[in-house]
Every structure is written in C-alpha cells, then in structure tokens.
Amino acid sequence: MATKIELGEIAVEVVKKDVSDEAFGDRSFYGIRMYLKSPEELHSGPEDDDRSAITFWVPATNQGKLLPGRLRSLLRKALDGLDEIPDD
C-alpha cells in the first residue's frame, strides 16, 4: 500500500515520555515524531491523539543512558537517499 503525503501536511516535534518502574526507577525517553496535520474539529480535545504518526524513539541502555547518535545515524542514512534524486 502506498500513501501520498504532501510535505505541507507533515509536522515534526520532539516528544518526551517519563516512565517509572521498580526495576529502573524514573527515566525519560525522547523521540522525533512526524505526524499528519489535521483540523482541530476532528479531535475531541488536546489529549485526543488519533493523528497518524510515526515516532522514532532515541534508544537507551538498560542503565538509562540515551544513545541519540544511533537514531541520528539512521535518519541521516534515510536523508542521504535524497542525494540520489536529481535536482531539476
């Protein structure tokens, strides 16, 4: 299945999720979220998160050390693919 999405329909944000558990304590996770913009009338309130989105979470070790370089490398590899497209 292919979906056509215009560049102007996409929004990007940095997200943070705080979690707490007995094994690891309090930790924060970060990610880059890309989602389709949609009119406010389609949502029941600010917490209504039925947007079509993909979130790329920054990996972390079991000790909670964030590894943003791994996500950066993946996203750069994807962006490097644009270099294969000729500019007209």
pLDDT in tens, 35-77: 887 777 766 776 766 667 889 999 988 788 899 999 999 999 9
pLDDT for 42: 67
In a domain, 3, yes or no: no
In a domain, 48, yes or no: yes
HEC string for the chain? CCCCCCHHHEEEEEEEEEEEECCCEEEEEEEEEEEECCCHHHCCCCCCCCCCEEEEECCECCCCCECHHHHHHHHHHHHHHHHHCCCC
Which tops the pLDDT comparison, 83 or 49?
83
Q: How many domains does the chain have?
A: 1
- Tokens found for residue 39: 């009119």
Q: What is the mean pLDDT of the chain?
A: 85
pTM of the model: 0.69
In a domain, 2, yes or no: no
Supply the range of the domain harboring residue 39: 8-84
Residue 26 has pLDDT above 70, yes or no: yes
Which tops the pLDDT comparison, 63 or 31?
31
pLDDT for 55: 92
